[in-house]
Amino acid sequence: MAESEPQPPPESSEETPPATQNFIIPKKEIHTVPDMGKWKRSQAYADYMGFVLTLNEGVKGKKLSVEYTVSEEAENLVATVVPTHLAAAVPEVAVYLRESVGNSTRIDYGTGHEAAFAAFLCCLCKIGVLRVDDQIAIVFKVFNRYLEVMRKLQKTYRMEPAGSQGVWGLDDFQFLPFIWGSSQLIDHPYLEPRHFVDEKAVGENHKDFMFLECILFITEMKTGPFAEHSNQLWNISAVPSWAKVNQGLIRMYKAECLEKFPVIQHFKFGSLLPIHPVTSS
């Protein structure tokens, strides 16, 4: 389970776009399986994975209760969503937020909706509302709260898993918290991957670690032996280190989520996450 070194965050994530930028309503661009090539070569793919890997590095070795700072712009976000001078970006950015809570017709939810929320956060970084030094708060405060809301919706409405691979998938609904959660646990003094299938270890430590919160939620929602209803996770518990788990999950996320047509066919592209080929820096 190996992975290349994390990419640096896209340069635009720390810069406010010029006032003359033309924001556009994101739309679908992936209509057939051959279109997946455009996605994998796109600026959107590069920026999205750069964002995921930047946050992955930011939360490495840290507990959910760690102290973190939030930029003034992010504080404004709580009350106004987007500052007035960036009002033109609202329609474009809002599309990703709307796409992140599942499908209201099918009453389903999956990793494609989760990716839309991550794209929403990525766009907020690209327009300067959130900044790279907010990365811990983005994961622990904003994304973790999103998980809590979606888990409540899953319990209340018994949402169907969208695009689930069943027992052969990592999880019916989420993927990113396993990536970022395993990064949290890298070099932990006593918790090893084998411990996440131990009920006592999960019960004592889940409030500090996103990965263990995911395991707890799975055990609350499913019955029967863990090895049967979550076989992929059971196999991962045999990996010797959290660093290798993290690297393997990043590789798996690309292959099983970002490179699967049923997931990416619903992703939308605009001016902030464009479909055009990645530009050389």
Q: According to the model, what pLDDT value does residue 76 have?
A: 44
Domain count, the chain: 1
- The single residue listed with the structure tokens 């964002």 is 51
Is pTM beyond 0.85? Reply is yes
Q: According to the model, what pLDDT value does residue 11 have?
A: 44
* CA separation for the pair 148, 159 (Å, rounded): 15
Average pLDDT along the chain = 85
- The single residue listed with the structure tokens 């973790």 is 144
In a domain, residue 230? The reply is: yes
Q: According to the model, what pLDDT value does residue 78 have?
A: 38
pLDDT digits (tens, 9 = 90+) for 100-131: 887 777 778 888 999 999 999 999 999 888 88
pLDDT digits (tens, 9 = 90+) for 128-145: 888 878 999 999 999 999
The pLDDT of residue 168 is above 80: no
* CA separation for the pair 244, 28 (Å, rounded): 35
In a domain, residue 224? The reply is: yes
* Angle at CA of residue 10, ends 78 and 101, nearest 5°: 45
If you average pLDDT over residues 211-228, what whole number do you get?
Answer: 92
CATH number where 106 lies:
1.20.120.1150
Residues in a beta bridge with 269: 27
If you average pLDDT over residues 3-25, what whole number do you get?
Answer: 57
In a domain, residue 3? The reply is: no
In a domain, residue 13? The reply is: no
Main-chain phi, psi angles of 51, to 5 degrees: -65, -45
| 233 vs 6, residue with greater confidence | 233
Return the amino acid letter for 62: K
Residue 27 is given by DSSP the state: E
pLDDT digits (tens, 9 = 90+) for 54-88: 999 999 999 998 887 767 654 444 337 688 888 88
Q: Domain of 52?
A: 29-264
